[in-house]
Amino acid sequence: MTSLTKIIPSLPEHALSPVIRVYVSAPRDTQVEVEIFQKEYYPRLAALCNGEGRELILIHLTLEDSPNPSPQVK
């Protein structure tokens, strides 16, 4: 499996946090794309992070009719 430092070579090893947060901000009409990301890509990214001793956290900001987005953490 590929190392995170190979994917992001410009970051020095000490700059990588043990927790990697991915923020997804998507309106309701793109929910299908968000589900595809969660099913197809999130598990592979999480496995890559776990292999490096890090944790991947997905924070999905759903855009409702209100001005403040509501976060959903996976």
Residue 9 is predicted with a pLDDT of 62
Per-residue pLDDT tens over the stretch 9-60: 665 665 567 888 999 888 888 889 989 999 999 999 999 989 988 899 999 8
Phi, psi (degrees; rounded to nearest 5) at 67: -70, -15
Tokens describing residue 72 = 């959903």
